[in-house]
Amino acid sequence: MGVVVGLGVGLGLLLVWSWFTMPIDREPRSDPGRLRAMLDRAGLMGLSVRSLLAVCAVLFGFVFVAVQMLSRTVPVSLAFALLAGYAPLAVVSGRARRRQRELAEVWPDAVDNLASAVRAGMSLAEAVGGLGQRGPEPLREAFRLFASEYQVSGRFEECLDRLKGRLADPVGDRVVEGLRVAREVGGGDLGRLLRSLSGHLRDDARTRSELEARQSWAVNGARLAVASPWLVLLMLCFRRDVIIRYASPAGVVVLALGAVCCVVAYRVMIRIGRLPVDQRVMS
C-alpha cells in the first residue's frame, strides 16, 4: 500500500512540475484540434491543451490514491479516478455552452450598436472598435483588443481575423464575415442589413431560450440517473466487507457493464433532448 501511495504522490508532483517548467506548444490556428476548439469556445485562449490534460492527469492520480486508501479495491479506485480525470473536460465543455448562450443573448444589442454607429456617420472600423467601450460587457474585451490592434497596424482584414478567433462564436463568425463583405464592396445598405440581422438573432435567442427551459428537466434527470449508482458505490467504500467483492472478476464485470450502461444511457438521453447547435463554418 505504501508503494501505491508513493507512486501516486510522485506522479502528481511530477505532473505539477512539468506543467510549470516545460514549454507550451502552440497548436496551429489553421486547424485546431477538438480540445483546442473547446477551450476557445469557453473563452480560455490562454490555457493550452497540455495544461488541461495535465490537470486531468493530476486529478486522476489524486483520486485513485484517495479512494484506494479508503476502499483498498483497485477496480473501484480506477472507476472513480476515471470520473475525476474527465471532470475538467466536463467543466470546460459546460463553460463553453454557457458562454455560447451568453454571447447569443448579447449579440443583438451589439449589432444594434453597430447599426446606430454606421447610421450616425462613423466609419466601419470606428464602429467596430467602439464596441469595446459601448458594447455589451461580455464582448467588450475582444473589441477593445480589436481597436488597439487596428490603431497600431491599420489592417482591417487581419484585425477581423484575430477578432473572430478571439470570439470563437458561430454568431460572431457571421457578423464578422458580414462586416468584411461590407468593407470590400462598400455596401450602402449596411445599416439595414445589420438591423435585419439583429432582429433575426433576437428571435432565434428567444426561441432557443424557451426550448432550453422546457428541456432542462430531461437533462437534469439524465445527470441524476447517471450519478446515483456511483454515489451509492462511493458510500459502499465505507463498508469494507461489501466493497471488497468488486475486486473479484465478477465485480470487475459488474463495474464495467455499469459504466458502459451509464455512458450509453446518458449519451442517448442528451442526444434526444439536444437542440441544434450552430457550427463555425467560416472559422
Residue 177 within a domain: yes
Q: What is the DSSP string of 150-212?
A: HHHH--HHHHHHHHHHHH--HHHHHHHHHHHHHHHHT-TTHHHHHHHHHHHHHHHHHHHHHHH
- pTM for the model stands at 0.74
- State residue 3's pLDDT score: 46
* Residue 187 included in any domain: yes
- Asked if the structure places residue 145 within a domain, the reply is yes
Residue 222, domain member (yes or no): no
pLDDT at position 29 is 43
Sequence-ordered list of residues with C-beta below 8 angstroms from that of 80, at least 6 positions apart, any chain: 63, 64, 67, 230, 234
**165 residue type, one letter:** G
Mean pLDDT of 254-266: 88
Residue 195 lies in a domain: yes
Check whether 62 has a pLDDT greater than 90: yes
Average pLDDT over residues 120-130: 84
Domain that holds residue 133: 102-205
Region 232-245 average pLDDT? 86
Number of structural domains, the chain? 1
Whether residue 10 lies inside any domain: the answer is no
More confident residue, 101 or 257: 257
Residue 85: pLDDT band with limits 50, 70, 90: very high
Cα–Cα dist 151/129, whole Å: 10
Q: Does residue 194 lie within any of the structural domains?
A: yes
Is residue 132 domain-resident? yes
